[in-house]
Structure 1
Amino acid sequence: MAFHGVLRPGHAQIRVFDLDESADFYSRVMGLQETGRDAQRVYFKCWDERDHHSLVLRKADRAGIDCFAFKVMDTPTLRRLEGRLKEYGVATERVPAGEMLATGERVRFQIPTGHMIELYADKQRVGNGLGDLNPEAWREDTRGIAPLRMDHALLYGGDIDAAHRLFAEVLDFGLVERVKLEDGQTDLGVWLSISNKAHDIALVRHAEDGKLHHVSFMLETWEQVLRAADLMTMHRVSIDMGPTRHGITRGTTIYFFDPSGNRMETFAGGYQWYPDHDPITWTWEEVGRAIFYHDRKLNEAFLSVVT
């Protein structure tokens, strides 16, 4: 498909209690590559990502997410989308280049679920270590779970209807799947894409705003998901659910917690989506199968534990 605005998820900045403990977890167990540090933060990328970072850890006294960012095509696109946000009635803030390591100017705004979203056009290109001329298939020096990329986030908050409209009407995201509540009319959750992935961001209705359910990292195969589960057990990582399959997106998954209690996901598969596809709807009586296709029921932690 033709990319002309928002390209993809760019980075998630999450809050952790202990920077050294968390940095060790994300490098040794997750297999992310540390790319830099500043006074407050540690930066990581997945091995097949070309840009400087996709995960940022910030030391804080509570876990959760500071912001979720999307990369856009170029600076004129950033200015155009900033203008569309303002015309829509959304207050924006420009964050100067260099405030985040290796990153150009960002446009920051709050969506109706209370989450901070950022758009940016420039980030230092560091490559994936394979080069651009006659590359090999993968890097021999990867370790741990070693995901390909940071893939998406699921955010919990109140007014997901208004947030959905903002993503659709201003940033051109498409609705891929949705889950309905008991009344058959109200959305419990929506899965949105700006690419041809099954989702780039998802929103679920929740009593509190600004909550993180999970940040997801992409693996290539179901076998790598199973290997990730082995590594989590070897390192005594707290697993929430999985390995299993989603009904929504058809992806395979494990949900687990980092040392600060932030839920993460390893994810593989999922179908390709195009804007001419009709959205898939899941009814309330099938919500268990929608989320966990094999178990066909939700566990309490999955519903209630957020940061």
Structure 2
Amino acid sequence: MGEGILRLGFVDVRVTDLEAARKHYVEVMGMQETARTDEMVYLKGWDEYDHHSIVLRRSDRAGLVKMAFKVHTYEDLERLENQLREYGASVTRVSKGENFSVGEGVRFRLPSGHTMELFVEMDYLGKALPQVNPAPVPDGLLGVGAPRIDHLLITADKPHETVDFLMKALNFYMSEKVVESEQSETPIAAWLFRSYTPHDIAIIPGRDEGLHHFAFWLDEFNDLRKAGDTFSKYDVPIDVGIERHGITRGQTIYYFDPSGNRNEVFTGGYIAYPDMPVVKWTADQLARGIFYFNHRQEWIEGFTSVTT
């Protein structure tokens, strides 16, 4: 797994009030602002070493502009570009600096219409901790103090097409999927990974190009509880939580940024390996799969249908 796609590199999202969004991600989530223009804000977590993992972009509506995944080497990038073209994708080269502080890469669209990019290099800033004899946590963290981004979940009109694309053209592995019945194999929804977490990206039914959420990793359950306290203190609109997923086994709170983009703080789960057998959930148990604590069917419709 050391070759090819390594992990989610950054998400580029639209926000309707750039300053309100900056305050949310810096003062509530505890992200570090690394650069800023009149139209964009760049952010990273304290345990991230690349220049940014979130780009906030001023717009008249919320939603996802693009997602970018980091690739191990330029040889991997070329190989993946060839795979994408063989799969029928229209691929565009991205020049160095076209994305601020990011090296050259490639851009293409998923069958769901989402824009995805692959890159190898980003300017290195380092973590908030020293590389020699570091403490576990840096001093002076604000709010939640989120160490890093973790994954994103997108919606697609035909999820199985995007799942197939990600697995065949980009070598993603599947950890879990939702199917119609125990005898079915075609995924209604799926959780895919390239790192060692249960998912770096997930795809559920919905409109094409939709963003359900992007998520921040927290190290332990007590951090999740602290995050809930912080959201209450700052009147952050909470969608669901504290909850536990059956799918991925993670513990979670879902909430919204000031523009209406759904965020998640996530902890727990399991280590995923490429050779692990895929966990299958049947559609009749989806409520339990998403909300293991409170699997009430009426929650599902609003939770999965509200996207940006």
Q: Calculate the TM-score normalised by the size of structure 1.
A: 0.96
Q: Which moved more, 1:45-54 or 1:174-183?
A: 174-183
Q: 1:184 to 1:264 in 2, by over 3 A?
A: farther
**In the alignment, which residue of structure 1 is the partner of 2:66?**
67
Q: 1:184 to 1:262 in 2, by over 3 A?
A: farther
* 1:170 CA drift (Å): 1.8
* 1:187 CA drift (Å): 2.5
Q: 1:183 to 1:276 in 2, by over 3 A?
A: closer
**In the alignment, which residue of structure 1 is the partner of 2:121?**
122
- Paired letter, 1:159: K
**In the alignment, which residue of structure 1 is the partner of 2:210?**
211
> Aligned runs of 1:184-263 on 2, under 5 Å?
185=184, 186-206=186-206, 208-263=207-262
Q: Could you report, residue by residue, the CA deviation over 1:43-98 in whole angstroms, capped at 9, with x for unpaired residues?
A: 00011001010000001111100111100002222122112111211101122211
**In the alignment, which residue of structure 2 is the partner of 1:303?**
304
**In the alignment, which residue of structure 1 is the partner of 2:177?**
178
**In the alignment, which residue of structure 2 is the partner of 1:38?**
37
Q: Is the 8 A contact 1:214 1:262 kept in 2?
A: yes
Q: Could you report, residue by residue, the CA deviation over 1:251-291 in whole angstroms, capped at 9, with x for unpaired residues?
A: 00000000000000000011011112110011122111100
* 1:22 CA drift (Å): 0.6
* 1:143 CA drift (Å): 1.1
Q: Which moved more, 1:235-244 or 1:85-94?
A: 85-94
* 1:135 CA drift (Å): 1.7
Q: Which moved more, 1:81-90 or 1:232-241?
A: 81-90
- Paired letter, 1:302: F
- Paired letter, 1:305: V
CA distance in 1, matches of 2:212, 2:67: 12
**In the alignment, which residue of structure 2 is the partner of 1:103?**
102
Q: Is the 8 A contact 1:7 1:72 kept in 2?
A: yes
Q: Could you report, residue by residue, the CA deviation over 1:91-135 in whole angstroms, capped at 9, with x for unpaired residues?
A: 011222112221111211000011111100010111112222222
* 1:138 CA drift (Å): 1.4
CA distance in 2, matches of 1:8, 1:133: 25
Q: Is the 8 A contact 2:11 2:67 kept in 1?
A: yes
1:94 pairs with 2:97: no
Instruction: For residue 268 of structure 1, give the secondary structure of its aligned residue in structure 2.
Output: strand
CA distance in 2, matches of 1:177, 1:143: 34
Query: Percent same amino acid at aligned positions?
Result: 42
CA distance in 2, matches of 1:182, 1:21: 44
- Paired letter, 2:305: S
Q: Which moved more, 1:267-276 or 1:162-171?
A: 162-171
Q: Unaligned 5+ residue runs, structure 1?
A: none
CA RMSD, Structure 1 to Structure 2 (Å): 1.3
Instruction: For residue 23 of structure 2, give the secondary structure of its aligned residue in structure 1.
Output: helix
Q: Is the 8 A contact 1:36 1:101 kept in 2?
A: no
Instruction: For residue 263 of structure 2, give the secondary structure of its aligned residue in structure 1.
Output: strand
**In the alignment, which residue of structure 2 is the partner of 1:112?**
111
Q: Is the 8 A contact 2:156 2:162 kept in 1?
A: no
CA distance in 1, matches of 2:50, 2:72: 14
Instruction: For residue 286 of structure 2, give the secondary structure of its aligned residue in structure 1.
Output: helix
CA distance in 1, matches of 2:101, 2:210: 27
Q: Calculate the TM-score normalised by the size of structure 2.
A: 0.96
Instruction: For residue 170 of structure 1, give the secondary structure of its aligned residue in structure 2.
Output: helix
- Paired letter, 1:86: R
